[in-house]
Structure 1
Amino acid sequence: MTFENYLNNKIMLADGAFGTYFASKYGTGALPECANITDPSKVIDIHSDYIKAGANLIRTNTFACNTLNLGPDMKKLGDHISAGCRLAFMASSLYSDTSDIQDSNTGIPNTGISYTDQSGSDENSDARINDTNADNQGKRQIFVAGDVGPIPFIPGQDDEKISEEYFFMVQTMYNSGIKIFLFETFAGIDNILKSLNWLKEKKENEPDLFVWVQLCSNQHGYTNEGIHVRNIIKELSAKKLVDAAGLNCGIGPASMRNILDEIDFTGIKYVSAFPNASFPQGMLSRPIFSGNEKYFASKMEEILSLGADIVGGCCGTSPEYTSKIAELDLSTKKSHAFKGEADLSIKVREKDSSFWEGKTSKKLIAVELAPPFGADDKKLMDSANALTKYNVDAITLPDSPSGRTRADSILAGLKVNSETGIAAIPHICCRDRNVISLRSGLLGAYMNGIRNILAITGDPVPTLMRQEARSVFNFDSVGLMKVIAELNREEFYRDPITYGGALSYNRPNTSVELSRMIKKIEAGASFFLTQPVFSDEDIEKLAFFKDKMKEANPDVKLFCGLMPLVSYKNALFIQNEMSGINVPDEVIARYKPDMSREEGEMVGVSVVRDVIAKTKDFSDGYYFSIPFNRVYLLDKILD
């Protein structure tokens, strides 16, 4: 019987947590996946405990198998995954009367790997199998799902490399005999799309393959990427990538039941639910779960009444939880009765508050003003008020650039806007805040009238400060844009936030930055600000990016970065100490060490005017970073 045949007739009961049960059973904080090689009998014991408790589906002990946890050696990663698959099949064979891919002697998928117990125990894996076979009576079919967990996010990670690692995991499982592929505890699907599409193609010739994604959310349905699970499941359904979808981890059964009821599962054939034993409580570095089996089973019964097809447990659950669920009626299939989301047709945009709205006949001007290091905002506000006479369209406010604390960009932006009437564009970076704080800040900004935002990943915390401050980086700027897009759909639809990103045209690898730009556009970015431009070479690069921008979305705007260097010393500093800004020697040569202040400023004005003349045919506007807040230079530049 295939997995789908089973699901068409009965509710599938899966196992519970591996990691937390492994820790409690063996009194260890070690990574359970390492035991696939070092202590395989312990892995088989846990699988066996769940099967004896009533589970008909077990997941391979591979959830945390990735190069961040196991090291960069791909062979080592492959060995641990293959071992995890083989051990699950070994445990399954003790109780199962069939196997999808069988070795002629053992009934276990033959991956060519043998296992011995390296823990120092007197019992080895073969003895463990023989003992269990001797005691086992009444075999039944036990299914094995290959378990793929999320690779932890690292700032600056190469998304393509991460995608390839997932692909390697899936191929390794496929070659190890896995036919049920479970991607669980995911906050988004971008990095597994290659794997999902590959499996979709494989399934055309191997219809017994089964592809399944489970998402992890908070009690309100939002993932760590700030996206509501219903929107991700809608995407999975639209792309026809999976056979089953559902939720796991993060929350207890009552919250999961409520969130499941909000999701439209149209197009998803089977629905799954694997809650935690309870909402986790922090205890030092290890979460503690306080649920009880009887309550858990009662809530799982409610989830079953909605039509869930596959149920199991996640963190904090154990075989005792599985046995309680097994006492429920799992033989009667129920139709899906999830209510789904409310009618979204009433969510109509009523207003456009982008800082360029109604200004189609001019080059747009944005000026950066840095919030102060201290509480004295006189220089900031003097400069902001001075800009009112230059017909400036927006003032941008950086978010503690270079990891040095400044006044909050959102709050500073609110004050600038309220006093000058000029649109404020606070930069919001991912370095200092997790998704909870970022969403909170965005909601507060919106309540107070902020409608334009620059989403950036953020500079790292300086080395000398890392004992006092830690970077957060739940995600990068693309992830932040997705959070804003989600809020625009759910909360701000009447007058959505306009957001843009940075364009680092000077990256050594142009293709990487081009890919990043396209991802930002796909995430909803409607404008880009660049680093200051000085050379003809950089102007050519910028024109290239603008052409690609038009191909992706002709409405996206490009703001060419401009910086009037005001002295020889200022020019040397920017050339040598500011990464990402290319100041060629011929520009430096236009300055003299003994120039007066006025002479230095006029050279800076002249250089900027030259760049404007060379970019006016493709740039939608200009983004000024003016040293030392000398905003009066705009009078000469824009004349």
Structure 2
Amino acid sequence: MAHSGVLLFDGAMGTWYADRFGQDMPCEWALLRHPERIAAIHNEYLLAGANAIITDTFRADTRALGSDHDTLLRLIDAAWRVAVDAAGEEKPVWAGFGPPTPDTNLAHDEEASFEQSVWDETALKIDRFLDRGARRFLFETFEADALPLRACAYIKKVCPDATTLVSFAVSPDGTTRSGRMGQALYLAACRSPFVDIAGFNCVSGPTHLLRFVHSLPEREKGTGKPLSIQPNAGYPVLDDGRTVYRNNPDYFADSMMGALEKGVAVLGGCCGTTPAHIAALASRLRTRTGGFTAQVPTLPTQPAGIVLQPSVIKPARNRFAELLRTGRPVLLTELDPPAGADPDMVTAFASAYRDAGAHIVTVADNPLGAPRADAGITAARIRRECGIDAMPHIACRDRNLLGIRSQLIALHNEGIRNLLAVTGDPVPADLAADVRGVFHLNAIQLIEYIMTLNSGLFDGDGFVVGGAVNLGATRFDVELERAARKVRAGAAFLITQPVFGEDGLHRLEVLREASLGVPVIAGILPVVSHRNAMFLNNEVHGIRIPPPMLQAFEGLTKEDASALGVRFALDTLRAATEMVDGFHLMTPFRRTGMVAEILQEYLADRRPDKGE
């Protein structure tokens, strides 16, 4: 491709500000308290050779700054004024937007209102920039496409002659920190009629980001749009408590020149880059291309040709998946991993369930936030030693993305092909002072991440992933929408919390009538005593036991209570059989005999000689 010019952005603002002026405040606050500092940085990049600069508004949102909307708008006004004064009439200024600051304390039923508030604030900032004269908009370091694509559509509707650039942050393996596949995000941006330039920035250094760009299949045939890359200077280290990047301008510039051969038309730098990096790159661009442009480069439009591997899973050697497809009821039993050094008990329980007729054993992941043996390792042992498939629960509570990926690779290597993705119970209050939940992903994002691995690393032999549904949710309409989002993310089946009484059956029917298009498996938890029933009803989130059932257990002996628990569970199975595609029987207090009895009675009911 012949180059009509390269658009060269500036480098980092945040890390360079910290190097120049210390870390006494975020660089965005400096716009109101020390605007001369931001002006100096803009001028340094312009003198270095950048022919476009970005406003100092990457973290300009009310949650990141702890400010109100009036202060936010004052900050945007200052950012625009400082940048325009520095750039003058010849160099374009781009209004910069970073990803919204997340709220990690949201309850499930608050997510929709939070997303709406994020959008309202984004639209408010766009309108302010437009009022001040902005016509170029950069959305950088995003890990998903929904918000920036919506923002670009809004901008083009209000101001059709505006220019938009969307840039995603990908790690060296091509995924975002939220688990999305960078290749798919890039394609979605390229396909949007409201996005003019698409690309990548941050997280990766130049070598790894260029390697990823080179791996994009048939990139030039598929977009007709310029590609932008703005990598970090490299990878940081901690030095005396400070995050430090190597001072490597020449290496950075030499590496970036390889981008021209791949058709990259927009260059720049992200974290760790400095005016020296941009000066080195500008010098090489002048020598190599004979100059570069402040205008948006254009590429000749060519026929669409990007071909992505499908994210549809094609499970191999997976009896559970085959059963789901046949429509026959599937029977799952759940075990907790051992809390101590007694692994033989779990394998004995799993073998008993195999003999009773269970199709697969699921293994909880530190239920109720209490430490137990690793669910994945326990599931792998059950599969190896007991002759029955096992399905570990994968909770988001205890692992960051690195740990989750490592666990998934290990599980795949062990032959595990079925997973249940869950957010995870909170850490108990007595441990909260010393233990923090990670929650790098939520359950929906975890399902999406596993799907990206299914279409890449595990292509052709991926995981079958299920999602959980809380029948006891206060806002069941919100829970139904979350279930639908899990299915859209790639969940192949849904497992409910335990079903109790008519209300539980009604909600199960509502879930079935929602027609989400995947099998629904009802949770069944036998109650063992009145005390157990009271605990479940009052202390375990998502479980509601009807008062008549609570009263029925009062005053019973251990044996009579167990028998009643079995009868109630069987009544629920029989009532729900026509509503669901299977059952997930949970083991109460190691009472495997109760669960085995329920399995055997249920299967006996369905024998042909019983009239089934």
Aligned mate of 2:541, from 549, 554, 579: 579
Q: Distance in 2 between matches of 1:287 and 1:433?
A: 23
Inter-CA distance 81–394: structure 2 relative to 1 (3 Å threshold): farther
What corresponds to 2:524 in structure 1?
A: 562
1:307 paired with 2:263, answer yes
Alignment of 1:518-537 (within 5 A): 518-537=484-503
**What CA RMSD, in Å, does the superposition of the two structures yield over aligned residues?**
2.6
Q: CA deviation at 1:190?
A: 3.3
CA offsets, 1:371-422, max 9 Å, x none? 0111212332221111122210111111112221110000000111112222
Aligned counterpart, 1:37 = 32
- Relative to 1, partners in 2 of residues 1:453 and 1:307: Cα closer, same or farther, differing over 3 Å? same
Q: Does the C-alpha gap of structure 1 residues 167 and 284 become closer, same or farther in structure 2, counting only changes over 3 Å?
A: farther
Give the gaps of 5 or more residues in structure 1: 1-6, 97-140
Distance 1:337 1:298, change over 3 A: farther
Which of residues 331, 337, 355 in structure 1 aligns to 2:320?
A: 355
Q: 1:147 aligns with which of 96, 102, 118?
A: 96
1:238-249 matches, cutoff 5 A:
238-249=191-202
1:73 aligns with: 68
1:186 match = 142
Q: Name 1:114's counterpart in structure 2.
A: none
State the alpha-carbon separation in 1 of the partners of residues 356 and 384 from structure 2. 18
Q: How does 1:206-605 map to 2 (within 5 A)?
A: 206-264=159-217, 265=219, 266-267=222-223, 269-283=225-239, 285-327=241-283, 328-329=285-286, 330=289, 331=291, 344=309, 349=314, 351=316, 353=318, 355-358=320-323, 360=326, 362-548=328-514, 550=515, 552-553=516-517, 556-593=518-555, 595-605=556-566
CA distance in 2, matches of 1:361, 1:428: 25
How big is each residue's C-alpha offset from its partner over 1:411-463, in whole Å with a ceiling of 9 and x where there is no partner? 00011111222221100111111111111110110011000000111122223
Letter in 2 for 1:531: Q
**Contact 2:149/2:189 (8 A) holds in 1:** no
CA distance change for structure 1 residues 421 and 618 in 2, over 3 Å: closer, same or farther? same
Q: Whole-Å Cα distance in 2 between the matches of residues 87 and 346 of structure 1?
A: 45
Aligned residue pairs: how many? 578
1:463 aligned counterpart, secondary structure: coil
Q: Distance in 1 between matches of 2:6 and 2:240?
A: 38
165-174 or 480-489: bigger deviation: 165-174
Amino acid aligned to 1:307: G
How many Å apart are 1:574 and its aligned residue? 1.2
Instruction: Quickly say closer, same or farther: Cα 1:504–1:283, change in 2 above 3 A.
Output: farther
Instruction: Give the Å deviation of 1:348.
Output: 9.4
Query: What percentage of aligned pairs have identical amino acids?
Result: 31
1:323 Cα offset (Å): 1.8
- 1:169-203 Cα offsets, whole Å, 9 max, x none, are 3432333232212111112223444323323434x
Alignment deviations for residues 347-385 of structure 1 (CA, whole Å, 9 cap, x no partner): 994736151414636321111100011121233222111
Deviation at 1:617, TM superposition (A): 1.7
Secondary structure of the structure 2 residue equivalent to 1:506: coil
Counterpart Cα distance in 2 of 1:472 and 1:493: 28
Counterpart of 1:108 in structure 2 is none
* Contact persistence 1:608–1:637 (CA under 8 A): yes
**C-alpha separation between the residues in 2 aligned to 1:47 and 1:166?**
29
Q: 1:74 to 1:28 in 2, by over 3 A?
A: same
SS of 1:48's partner is helix
Given that residues 85 and 173 in structure 1 are in contact (C-alpha distance below 8 angstroms), is that contact kept between their aligned partners in structure 2?
Answer: no
**Paired letter, 2:93:** V
**2:85 corresponding residue in structure 1:** 90
- Relative to 1, partners in 2 of residues 1:454 and 1:349: Cα closer, same or farther, differing over 3 Å? closer
Partner of 1:620: 581
- Residues 468-496 of structure 1, C-alpha deviation per residue, up to 9 Å, x if partnerless? 32222221111111111011111222222
Runs of 5+ unmatched residues, structure 2: 602-612
Partner of 1:162: 115
The answer as to whether partners of 1:226 and 1:439 remain within 8 angstroms in 2 is no
Quick one: structure 1 residues 412 and 501, their matched pair in 2 at CA, closer, same or farther if it must change by over 3 Å? same
Confirm or deny: 8 A CA contact 1:153 1:475 kept in the other structure.
Answer: no
CA distance in 1, matches of 2:105, 2:520: 24
Q: Is the 8 A contact 1:514 1:545 kept in 2?
A: yes
Give the partner amino acid of 2:127.
Y
**Partner amino acid, structure 1, of 2:140:** E
AA of the residue aligned to 1:297: A
Equivalent residue letter for 1:318: T
How many angstroms does 1:345 deviate by? 8.9
Task: Provide the secondary structure at the position in 2 that maps to 1:490.
Answer: coil
Deviations along 1:502-537, one digit per CA (max 9) or x if unpaired, are 101322222321221111101110111111111212
Other structure's SS at 2:259 match: helix
Q: Aligned partner of 1:587: which letter?
A: M
Partners of 2:312 and 2:494 lie apart in 1 by 27
Q: Which residue of 2 aligns with 1:46?
A: 41
- Take 2:510 and 2:504, find their aligned partners in 1: how far apart are those partners? 10
Deviations 1:520-575 (A, max 9, x none): 10111011111111121221122112221x2x32xx11111111111112111211
Q: Which residue of 1 aligns with 2:604?
A: none
Calculate the TM-score normalised by the size of structure 1.
0.85
Question: Does 177-186 or 65-74 show the bigger shift?
Answer: 65-74
Cα distance change on mapping 1:324 and 1:379 into 2, 3 Å: same
Aligned residue for 2:32, secondary structure, equals helix
Specify the alignment match of 1:3 in structure 2: none
